[in-house]
Amino acid sequence: MRIFIYLCISLWGCSMYAQNKEVLYDFIELPQSLMLNPGADVDFEYHVGIPVLSQIHVNAGFKGASVYDVFADDGRSINDKIETTLNNLGSNDYVTLTQQLEILNFGWKSKKNEKIYYSGGLYEELDLISYFPKDFAVLAYQGNQDFINRPFRFSNISLTGELLTVYHFGYNKKVSKKLTFGARAKLYSSIINFRSTKNSGTFTTIETPNGNNIYQHIINNANVTVKTSGYASLREIESEDTSDGARQVKNKFIGRALLGGNLGLGVDLGFTYQLEDQWTITGSATDLGMIFYTKDVETYRARGSFAFDGIQTPITTGSEGQDVLDELEEAIPIDTLSTAYAAMRPLKLNGSIKYSFNRYDDGTCNYCFEGEDPPYLDGIGLQVFTQFRPKRPQYAASLFYYKRWFSFLRTKVTYTIDDFSYKNIGFLLSTHIDKINFYISGNNLLEYSNLAKARGVSVQFGFNYIM
Amino acid sequence: MKTMKSYAFMLFACTVFLTVSCVKDVDFNQLDDAVLTPVFEADFIYSQFDIEEFIPDGLPPDTEFTIPVERLRDTINYDLTSTDFAIENLDRVELTIEVRNTIERDFSIVFQFLTADGTAIGELYNVPVAAGMGAGTAPVVSFSNPNPIVLDNPTLVELANARRVYTEILIPAPPLNTNLRGVIDLRSKATYYINYEL
């Protein structure tokens, strides 16, 4: 129990948000911008991400609370702080954790048509989101005494988790001087997945002045489902209790990562359009796809209604009486099914408008690569982001400022408003030295002096070899 | 030289970025003081005793009769504290018992916890039931004595093997009369006070 609580809290601790990579989006000097918008207006001859180091992305968030809210060293009782935090949190608050690791990333300009840029690769992704099960947290923390006649809703239980690998290949074409269009095909191989969404039903203790007993405890139309894939076979390994269990799990994971898992298909689409010389708009939809879970599937489902108003003592019969738990199991059986299911990937939408200015053109090209047009050194604009999640989409909007200091050093600063914060400052630093590119970005920088107070932080960094 | 400078700058930027982040003003040891103290209310036993159902057929009015004692007794399954978790983390259980009576006679209801094999453990609890004022009148409400019955932690430890509850309606003298009408309506709840240290 204690370990579980530490785990939950450390999850809050390293908290950041959804998959919004606002500082990386449309940063066209980095090949990773193609992963956020396959139609980004990139200009590379070729690129190779340093394997396993080309992008490391961690992103976690707790909407509604921070570690500081519970663990502040302020002399107040922790129980009071837990209660206050519990009261402040709502069932639409959530904790998320996203982690991505690029294993391979490469791209090259077509020899036949230099307007076309191909890119491809492989990355691993872990994506978890759990909404705060407010009603049941209250039930566990305070009990039902103060909540007579108030329903505890099973719809509060909503969470998904997935570990997968993504194989992708993208096509980027400068259709005209103004328009760049891109698409990326994705093949998903799910290693492990669980989801419990769209649950329904209530548990209520109602007062019954005219009923059989003081209360009636009612589970009304409960429908709670937990779908899993990739889990049942792991449980078998655990129950065998063999010493090489860890090795077996590792081998299974590697096999599934190498297209041996539950497969799915998806596509990213995007464009860049130059409205006028200095104005650019972009848009993208990524992870428009679905995974089909057919292998190693196990679904647990509890459905039914049940009412309990105590144990009747018939007095007249002298029988053994009723067994409430047996009756409950009969009324709401827990079925284990192995039905295949399919689930959409969390679709992400990005859009931006940018105004570029301060063109540097003194003929020396100290600030640009050879052969490039003299670049604009500054850019300012607005970005919007949406990600579809089980209960409702998450939104974010950012103002950004791009600055090219030297040909080897470019930066971007963002100010973002989202579910987590109204004062989220992000920063990206990208260096290009001897074809080696290194970048690092993060957000919620104002919270870095004390991460405990942060409700979300995101960090990405990586190395590329770019021509 | 320019390259060297830029590498140095890059290193500096990363160092700043990674070292300014920290976690402070928090004390995770506070978790040792965290206690969950939920209070759960759950129905306990209930019963309706309509005296008319116990009057033997064919008896004329205003005649005395008795009810065989086995019809007044019952044993039901009730797992009060079957797990170690319950014993260790239950601060106390309070039993609230309310009896509404319209029969013009006083009674008492007793109950006691039993082990799985039927051995009585702990106290025999008594609920005195005051006489009612006849069928169709407002019931007279009685409560257990004391009200509520508090099973504190030592008592719960004593009752660790309780798996059943025995109940009986006691009818004090004189015998019942076939003219009597009315109902005893017993309603009860158990309030569980949990004290769980994380």
Measure CB to CB from residue B73 to each of A5, A318, A452 and give the nearest one: A318
- pLDDT digits 0-9 by tens, A221-245: 999 999 999 988 887 776 666 667 7
- Whether A171 shows a pLDDT value over 90: the answer reads yes
CB contact under 8 A, B42 and A408: no
The tally of CA atoms less than 13 A away on the side-chain side of residue A26 is 34
CA A334 to chain centre: 29
Given a contact cutoff of 8 angstroms between Cβ atoms, the answer to whether B186 and B99 are in contact is yes
- Asked if pLDDT for residue A318 goes beyond 70, the answer is no
Q: Which of B154, B143, B34, B58 is nearest to B97 (CA)?
A: B143
Interchain CB contact of B178 with A (< 8 Å): no
Task: Determine the pLDDT at residue B107.
Answer: 93
Check A82 against B40: CB less than 8 A apart.
Answer: no
Q: In the predicted model, is pLDDT for residue B82 greater than 70?
A: no
**pLDDT at residue B100, rounded to an integer:** 95
Q: What are the two backbone dihedrals, phi and then psi, of residue B82, each rounded to the nearest 5 degrees?
A: -80, -15
Average pLDDT on B38-48 reads 91
Asked if the Cβ–Cβ distance from B169 to A214 is below 8 Å, we say no
Round to the nearest angstrom and report the end-to-end CA distance of chain A. 53
Smallest Cα–Cα separation from A291: which of A191, A158, A170, A385? Answer: A191
State yes or no: pLDDT of A382 exceeds 80.
yes
CA atoms within 13 A of residue B62's CA, in its CB half-sphere: 0
Q: What share of chain B is helix, strand, coil (3-state, %, to 5)?
A: 20, 40, 35
Residue B198 is nearest to which of A2, A74, A316, comparing CB atoms? A2
Question: Tokens 């005395």 identify what position?
Answer: B64
| β-pairing verdict for A311-312 and B45-50 | parallel
Close Cβ partners of B148 (under 8 Å, ≥ 6 residues apart): B94, B95, B96, B97, B191
Question: Chain A neighbours among B 142-171 (CB < 8 Å)?
Answer: 164-165, 167, 169
Q: How far is A416 from chain B (nearest CA, A)?
A: 19
Contact of B33 with chain A, judged by CB distance below 8 Å, is answered with yes
The pLDDT, as a whole number, for residue A313 is 80
Look at domain A2-466 and name its CATH class. Answer: mainly beta
Contact indicator for A30, A437 with CB cutoff of 8 Å = yes
Kind and range of the H or E run holding A7: helix A2-13
Contact B40 A320 (CB under 8 A): no
> For chain A, which residues make up each domain, given as ranges?
2-466
Across the interface, whether the CB atoms of A2 and B31 are under 8 A apart is answered yes
Is-contact B142 B101, C-beta < 8 A? yes
Contact A79 B33 (CB under 8 A): yes
- Sorted by sequence, the CB contacts under 8 Å of residue A11 that are 6+ apart come out as A60, A62, A95, A97
Q: Mind telling me how many Å the CA of B61 is from chain A's nearest CA?
A: 23
- What is the DSSP pairing of strand A215-229 with strand A46-49? unpaired
| Residue A11 sits at the chain B interface (C-beta within 8 Å) | no
pLDDT above 50 (res A15): no
> Which residues from chain A sit within 8 angstroms of residue B165, using beta carbons?
311
Is A212 in contact with B53 (Cβ distance < 8 A)? no
Q: What per-residue confidence (pLDDT) applies to A366?
A: 55
**Segment of A195-209, A358-372, B29-43 carrying the highest mean pLDDT:** A195-209
Mean pLDDT, all residues of chain B: 85
**Location of structure tokens 């269990």:** A245
- Contact assessment for residue A460 and residue A56, using Cβ atoms and an 8 Å cutoff: yes
pTM: 0.78
Between these two residues, A294 and B29, which has the higher pLDDT value?
A294
pLDDT at A448 over 70: no
Query: Half-sphere exposure (CA, 13 Å, Cβ side) for A206?
Result: 15
When CB atoms are compared, the residue of A67, A146, A313 closest to B45 is: A313
CB contact under 8 A, A309 and B189: no
DSSP state, residue B20:
S
Closest CA to A225 of A388, A390, A344, A60: A390
Alpha-carbon distance of A465 to B7, in angstroms, equals 16
Looking at chain A from residue 129 to 188, which residues have their Cβ under 8 Å from any Cβ of chain B?
Answer: 139-146, 148
Contact yes or no for A379/A355 (Cβ under 8 A): yes
Give the model's pLDDT for residue A11: 37
Tell me the C-alpha distance between A271 and A165, whole Å.
25
| pLDDT of res. A13 | 32
Q: Which residues contact A224 (CB under 8 A, 6 or more apart)?
A: A154, A157, A196, A199, A201, A301, A302, A303
Is residue A102 within 8 Å of A123, Cβ to Cβ? Answer: yes
Would you report the helix, strand and coil content of chain A in percent, each value rounded to 5?
20, 50, 30
- Collect all residues of chain B within an 8 Å Cβ-Cβ radius of residue A316: 53, 71
Assess B21–A contact: CB distance below 8 Å, yes or no.
Answer: yes
Q: Which residues of B touch A320 (CB under 8 A)?
A: 75-77
pLDDT digits (tens, 9 = 90+) for A424-434: 888 999 988 88
Q: How far apart are CA A462 and CA A437, in angstroms?
A: 8
State how far residue A14 is from chain B, nearest Cα, in angstroms: 10
In tens, the pLDDT along A41-81 reads: 998 888 998 777 767 777 777 777 777 788 888 888 888 88
Q: How confident is the model at residue A10 (pLDDT cuts 50, 70, 90)?
A: very low
Terminus-to-terminus CA distance in chain B, angstroms? 59
Taking the C-alpha atoms of residue A18 and residue A394, their distance in angstroms, rounded to an integer, is 8
By the 8 A CB rule, do B10 and A405 touch?
Answer: no
**CATH for B36-197 (2.60.120, 3.10.50, 2.40.128, 3.40.1420):** 2.60.120
Does A8 have pLDDT greater than 60? no
Decide if B194 contacts B39 (C-beta within 8 A): yes
Q: Which of A215, A315, A319 sits opposite B47 (nearest CB)?
A: A315
Examine the predicted complex and report whether its ipTM is higher than 0.90.
no
Q: Any alpha helices (H) in A220-368, and if so which ranges?
A: 232-240, 245-255, 324-331
Is B89 at the interface with chain A, CB within 8 A?
Answer: no
A58 within 8 A of A14, measured Cβ to Cβ = yes
Which residue would you say has higher pLDDT here, B127 or A390? B127
Residue A94 confidence (pLDDT): 84
The alpha carbon of residue B116 and the mean position of all alpha carbons in its chain are separated, in whole angstroms, by 19
Q: Are residues A173 and A116 in contact, defined by beta-carbon separation less than 8 angstroms?
A: yes
- Min Cα distance B3 → chain A (Å) is 7
Asked if A13 and A58 touch (Cβ cutoff 8 Å), the reply is no
Return the SS3 of B176: strand
Q: Say if the Cβ atoms of A212 and B46 lie within 8 Å.
A: yes
- B19: helix, coil or strand? helix
Six-digit token string for A273: 């359009």
Which chain A residue has its CA at the smallest distance from B169's CA?
A315
Residue A150 pLDDT greater than 70, yes or no:
yes
Count of Cβ atoms closer than 10 Å to residue A116 Cβ: 15
A228-237, B94-103, B186-195: least confidently modelled range: A228-237
Residue A16 has pLDDT above 50, yes or no: no
Distance CA A405, CA A401 (A): 12
Work out how many CB contacts closer than 8 A connect A with B.
178
> What average pLDDT does this structure show over A84-103?
86
Strand pairing category for B107-114 and B73-77:
unpaired
Of B20, B27, B167, the CB nearest to A71: B27
Whether A371 has a pLDDT exceeding 70, the answer reads no
* pLDDT above 50: residue A4: no
Residues of chain B contacting residue A152, judged by C-beta atoms under 8 Å apart: none
Residues of B in contact with A80 (CB under 8 A): none
Q: Which of residues 46-65 of A touch B (CB under 8 A)?
A: none
Judged by a CB distance cut-off of 8 A, whether residue A3 touches chain B is no
Chain B residue closest to A5 (CA)? B198
CA distance B155 to chain A (A): 22
Question: Could you tell me if A72 lies within 8 Å of chain B, comparing CB atoms?
Answer: yes
Parallel, antiparallel or unpaired: strands B176-177 and B140-143 = unpaired
Query: Contact A44/A1 with Cβ under 8 angstroms?
Result: no
Contact B31 A431 (CB under 8 A): no
Please state, in angstroms and rounded to a whole number, the distance separating the CA atoms of residues A175 and A41.
11
Q: Do B22 and A451 touch (CB under 8 A)?
A: yes
Tell me how far apart the alpha carbons of residues A317 and A313 are, in angstroms, rounded to a whole number: 9
pLDDT for residue B76 is more than 90: no
CB-based contact, B138 to chain A, within 8 Å = no
CA distance B130 to B81: 31
Answer whether A408 sits within 8 Å of B6, measured CB to CB. Answer: yes
Give residue A21's pLDDT: 84
Cβ pair A71:B33 closer than 8 A: no
Residue B42, chain A, CB below 8 Å: the answer is yes
- Per-residue tokens: A309: 């108003």
Exposed / middle / buried, residue B68 (Cβ in 10 Å: 0-12, 13-18, 19+): exposed
